Chains A and B, each alone.
Chain A
């Protein structure tokens, strides 16, 4: 009796906790509402299964607990029941998987109009690079990293000269403009994680990874590292600010390019640098 009641209480507690507790995801600030929707669908399906199975179990424990004289029913298997249960389970799984894969396809397909930017991680801070007026990021490599060139931008690549470098500062992005975030690490694994954007991806030294998103509301969002990167992992923080277009332009004008010029003058640099094409 106590056992059956406890099982029912566990169901009530779990459902109640889900519905009433204040702990839920942070309000979304990107286009990935589909991810949230898929997650909610998954909550409903799995929640229904959990409630059904545990309640059935509680009923069995209540109804068939040992009493003198009770004899268990003898039925080694039931093919029909097993086939039904397999079919229903497969259906439920498909109902979660199908939308999941469709959204994954969107997640990995970067729209053509997306602006490319770069996030560079190292122990234990974030740096950023925006393409200059030429709209392209110059190539990079760890062999060029030194005190003057902390992000390792290729000095011989003419596309790099006008790149806007934000070393250990905050990133600003314009509202409503899709961005492809190229991710690069120069030492160990990191992961660029802003909870409100839902998207995240590891950064792996030796390669460039990416994700894309469109910011959907202005504000200041905390960046965390989501892949263990050593002792400072927990304090590897930063901020991304989503601005209206005008504010963004104002901020951008105050930044400096790789060539050391104010970003507003970048266009001349791009024309005169004339390095080799990578």
Chain B
């Protein structure tokens, strides 16, 4: 500690708490199963998320096979089709994207990027993963339950979600779905509190909030949002479970099903929709904000330039996070809620476009006059900008209440949200894996396989979802296993077949990616300590991959922000965050 110059000149405060070692594993179980090392938990989270994500990928193939070639595949009945779309949507949104960004990248990167030895609550962190694992097991079990999984749509709208006209409605499907969500939320709450407290309390000396990489800002803000949003889903799930099992009527009005009066009465289906979307809309940003943060760092590192307008980027993340709690009913313009809500929610929704657009500008302006290395992470970042821009702009159609009226519940919506919160964040996940794989394994992923993976995924995904908007514009509704209708020209069937071929191709390319992961883990080129010459803290560990406790004997001390790239007069084109060298001339550099 004596080597660190403390005091107001350097901005380095004295240590407030002693540097304690994180708990060490003592045997097989505590090392490889119930591990309390955030890095290992991150890999457990990511592995589980990718495994269940593969199920969702296969489901998407089945969905597309039905839509592209209706009637050809006899085993896809209407029931099966609805089960496929429901499970595909729920798995992708909650069990893959949320889990991998927060549980996966959050666990791996937060301690390393803020200069901590581990999460502040390692035991709770371990419990968090195993709750998540249990949630995934329950979810997967519903495929084998009597009646199969629920086919209520991922939005699970009552009354149909718990009635006999819907697959799994009066059998096991919906019950297992709700139980799984409840487990997931319990697990997430444990993890989420841990991530938030770690960011707030365990940053190393000198790591002020305004020196944190945007990755951490994104993950941190998303975590806080998730802690506020998931409880709405939690109570909705519990109440629906009561309606289904105990005969309460939270969401169930008096109704007649197939000519028979049911004993429900007095509840409101719209209340469920409000609860669901109060969670559901922030959820979009819970996935998007970590992606925003990570892609900012990928662009800065691989364009050898500081992220343009860092302070604006931080505030944009925070403002988007806050605003996203008052836009939820734009999913409900045609739900039958009071029509005056339309004015309010259309206005808030379009306002949120401004900070979001600024983020896009700043990513592009970071490229401007940069030194752009077209590495795989950079390629995926470019792919992200294109798909996110496209999906964000179509959001302006759907957010503008009256334009939403003809488009809502059509394939336009499906195309929009797949582009903006499917393809775009997944581009970032891939970019991030290519970027941080050396940190995790000490080896580089194969560049050649990566190039094939990138081009097929990027061009293919664009070819799937861009034309799909026009299927919706024609008027084709979503959630139809067969879209034949009097107003739909035959050419739409041809377009649908094309989209299916593109979807199967993109899916196949992901197998190459998985192969690359395993191949490079064994045979990849050794990366050395800091292969991308990155300035942020996670690359400054004494070993790669970092050992348990991350930092060797002494915690690092941070002297600058994470973006000192190509600083005029510096010896190299980056200055690491823990480098005590001279500060840059720009007065606002944090």
Q: Which positions in A face B, CB cutoff 8 Å?
A: 3, 6-7, 10, 13-14, 17, 21-26, 32, 34-35, 38-39, 42, 45-46, 49-50, 53-54, 56-57, 60-61, 64-66, 70-78, 81-82, 85-86, 89-90, 93, 96-97, 100-101, 103-104, 107-108, 122-124, 141-143, 145, 147, 152, 183, 186-189, 191, 193, 195-196, 198-207, 209, 220-222, 224-235, 237
Give the residue of A21, A66, A104, A200 whose beta carbon is less than 8 angstroms from that of B401. A104
Residues of chain B from 168 to 206 with CB closer than 8 A to chain A in the complex: 169
With a cutoff of 8 Å between Cβ atoms, the chain A residues found around residue B504 in the complex are none
Q: Within the assembled complex, what's the spacing in Å between the Cα atoms of A86 and B495? A: 38
Decide: A205 and B255 in contact? CB cutoff 8 A: yes
Decide: B566 and A71 in contact? CB cutoff 8 A: yes
Contact bitstring B98-111, A, C-beta under 8 A = 1, else 0: 00000000000000
Q: Within the assembled complex, what's the spacing in Å between the Cα atoms of A189 and B479? A: 14
Decide: B335 and A204 in contact? CB cutoff 8 A: yes
Decide: B481 and A234 in contact? CB cutoff 8 A: yes
Decide: A202 and B336 in contact? CB cutoff 8 A: yes
Give the residue of A24, A26, A107 whose beta carbon is less than 8 angstroms from that of B470. A24
Q: Within the assembled complex, what's the spacing in Å between the Cα atoms of A26 and B488? A: 8
Chain A interface, >50% SS class: mixed
With a cutoff of 8 Å between Cβ atoms, the chain B residues found around residue A108 in the complex are 339-340, 342
Decide: B305 and A73 in contact? CB cutoff 8 A: yes
Give the residue of A25, A73, A85 whose beta carbon is less than 8 angstroms from that of B475. A25
Decide: A228 and B261 in contact? CB cutoff 8 A: no
Instruction: Given A50-B389, A187-B163, output 12 extra A-B contacts at Cβ < 8 Å.
Output: A3-B379, A24-B473, A39-B407, A72-B304, A72-B565, A74-B586, A77-B588, A108-B339, A123-B258, A152-B256, A207-B253, A224-B485
Is the C-beta of B589 less than 8 angstroms from some C-beta in chain A? yes
Decide: A54 and B486 in contact? CB cutoff 8 A: no
Decide: B405 and A64 in contact? CB cutoff 8 A: no
Decide: A188 and B336 in contact? CB cutoff 8 A: no
Q: Within the assembled complex, what's the spacing in Å between the Cα atoms of A152 and B492? A: 40
Closest chain A residue to B455, Cβ basis: A6
Decide: A46 and B396 in contact? CB cutoff 8 A: yes
Q: Within the assembled complex, what's the spacing in Å between the Cα atoms of A32 and B406? A: 10
Decide: B477 and A85 in contact? CB cutoff 8 A: no
With a cutoff of 8 Å between Cβ atoms, the chain B residues found around residue A103 in the complex are 402
Residues of chain B from 547 to 566 with CB closer than 8 A to chain A in the complex: 563, 565-566
Closest chain B residue to A225, Cβ basis: B477
Decide: A7 and B566 in contact? CB cutoff 8 A: no
Give the residue of B167, B256, B346, B357 whose beta carbon is less than 8 angstroms from that of A186. B256
Decide: A72 and B374 in contact? CB cutoff 8 A: no
Q: Which positions in B face A, CB cutoff 8 Å?
A: 78-79, 82, 151-153, 155, 157, 159-160, 163, 165-167, 169, 253-259, 261, 267-270, 303-306, 308-312, 334-336, 339-340, 342-343, 346-347, 350-351, 353-354, 357-358, 360-362, 364-365, 367-374, 379, 382, 385-386, 389-390, 393-394, 396-397, 400-403, 405-410, 459, 462, 466-467, 470-471, 473-475, 477, 479-482, 485-487, 489, 491-492, 495, 563, 565-568, 573, 584, 586, 588-589
Q: Within the assembled complex, what's the spacing in Å between the Cα atoms of A192 and B256? A: 19
Given contacts A60-B364, A231-B79, contact A89 B382 (CB under 8 A): no
Decide: A195 and B487 in contact? CB cutoff 8 A: yes
With a cutoff of 8 Å between Cβ atoms, the chain A residues found around residue B372 in the complex are 60-61, 64-66
Closest chain B residue to A199, Cβ basis: B405
* B452–chain A nearest beta-carbon distance, Å: 13
Decide: B350 and A60 in contact? CB cutoff 8 A: no
Given contacts A56-B364, A71-B566, contact A25 B405 (CB under 8 A): no
Decide: B343 and A104 in contact? CB cutoff 8 A: yes
Given contacts A85-B361, A107-B402, contact A231 B165 (CB under 8 A): yes
Q: Within the assembled complex, what's the spacing in Å between the Cα atoms of A64 and B119? A: 39
With a cutoff of 8 Å between Cβ atoms, the chain B residues found around residue A195 in the complex are 406, 474-475, 487
Give the residue of B167, B309, B474 whose beta carbon is less than 8 angstroms from that of A25. B474
